[in-house]
Amino acid sequence: MCRHISLQYCIDSMNENTGKVPLKECYSTPEGIQQHFPYELDQQFDNLIKNPPPGTCVVASDKFGEILSVFFHRMEKEKLTHMAAIVKSQKHAMAVRLRIKQTPAGETEYVVSFYDPNATNTAVRYKAKNCDSFGSLQSFINIELANIKWVKTEICSECVGIIPYLPREQAHLLSCIDNELQPPLSPSALYLLMQMGRMKILFFFSIS
């Protein structure tokens, strides 16, 4: 179920020009979810895993902010104002929405909304004037869930997969970002890669 909800969050993120997701209206009740979520989400998620788009990567949990920075810089280069992505651990799926906006004062603001289906109708939102300032994955976890043991072991684990979600005509704009750090793989990273059906992927890992 988590992968269906996370994918729908990505779809809603890209369907709305404002980048807003109707969490209260469509994610708060069983009836709202049933009406809002199409049956074909399962097949769509499988297709996304089997055919991962450009920019798909595995990232160390404590380097999560670094991959957000990579995406923000590419968005600026390609003049994208918003994008979304699935964030996949070994046993769970979440989502993230990135947005670049201009403040009334004319300053650039980078906004990250992190969505965990365990907190179904809320998202953790951060904004900054420097896109290189975002932190680890754990800093984005809902505060009511952050200290639960299984959240630490299964969600804030060693690494997560990032699967960008953009309209098909824009997907190529995230290609060729695989020239970053490539230290040796860990067992959990290999497991995620096998789950995601791809081996040649960008890596960000802490070097012990």
- Percentage, residues of the chain above pLDDT 70: 75
Task: Say what the pLDDT of residue 207 is.
Answer: 40
> In the numeric block, which tokens belong to residue 57?
């990567």
Task: Say what the pLDDT of residue 91 is.
Answer: 82
What are the CA-CA distances from residue 144 to residues 3, 41, 147, 162 (Å)?
21, 28, 7, 24
168 has a pLDDT exceeding 50: yes
Residue-wise over 19-33: b if at least 16 C-beta within 10 A, else e? bebebeebbeeeebb
> In the numeric block, which tokens belong to residue 128?
């900054």
What's the CA gap between 195 and 177, in Å, rounded?
Answer: 21
Q: Beta-strand (E) ranges in 118-177?
A: 124-128, 159-165
Task: Say what the pLDDT of residue 50 is.
Answer: 86
pLDDT digits 0-9 by tens, 61-114: 888 999 999 999 999 999 999 999 999 988 889 999 999 999 999 999 999 999
Cβ pair 43, 133 in contact under 8 A: no
DSSP-based helix, strand, coil % in the chain, nearest 5: 40, 20, 40
